[in-house]
Amino acid sequence: MLSLDDARALITKGHASADSLKVNVCMAVVDPSGSLIAFDRMDRAPYGCVDAAIAKAKSAALFRVKTSVNMQRVNGDEPAIASIPHMVPLGGGVPVTNNDIVVGAVGVSGATNAMEVKIAEAMVAGYGVIPTK
């Protein structure tokens, strides 16, 4: 299980990544059930990114898959999955794993999709292995 200190550390890594990209984003960290542990909205981040970051984190936790995978599925042969509750078909949500067990997830919103994915993956890098499925 992610602790509050773990969640804060993940957000700190997100700040560093966002700063390097010169973007202002919202970052959420949730537990495996999708419940919020920690949240941060950087100065000048769009207000609309608050709910989006939380939704991406929740989706990654509940489905145990990066939300960018959902985006590929929706843009491919499975557009109907976008109608499943809590399924977010946009990049920026990444599960956090420990010994191949999902212990939570992060969500990032407020920049381009590619930047959000990069920041979310930087947040979890080193914590555990990022699932690819």
- At 24 the three-state DSSP class reads coil
Q: Is the dihedral of CA 51, 27, 2, 61 positive or negative?
A: positive
Enumerate the domain spans of the chain: 4-124
- At 63 the three-state DSSP class reads helix
Q: Which one-letter amino acid corresponds to residue 74?
A: V
HSE of 125, CA atoms in CB hemisphere, 13 A: 12
What is d(CA 28, CA 78) in angstroms, rounded to the nearest whole number?
27
Position 128 scores a pLDDT of: 56
4-124 CATH: 3.30.450.150
Position 103 scores a pLDDT of: 95
What is the strand order of the sheet 26-30 is part of? 36-41, 26-30, 101-109, 93-98
Q: How many CB atoms lie within 10 A of CB 22?
A: 8
- Per-residue pLDDT tens, the chain, 133 aa: give them: 899 999 999 999 999 999 999 999 999 999 999 999 999 999 999 999 999 999 999 999 999 999 999 998 999 999 898 889 999 999 999 999 988 899 999 999 999 999 999 999 999 998 754 444 4
- At 113 the three-state DSSP class reads helix
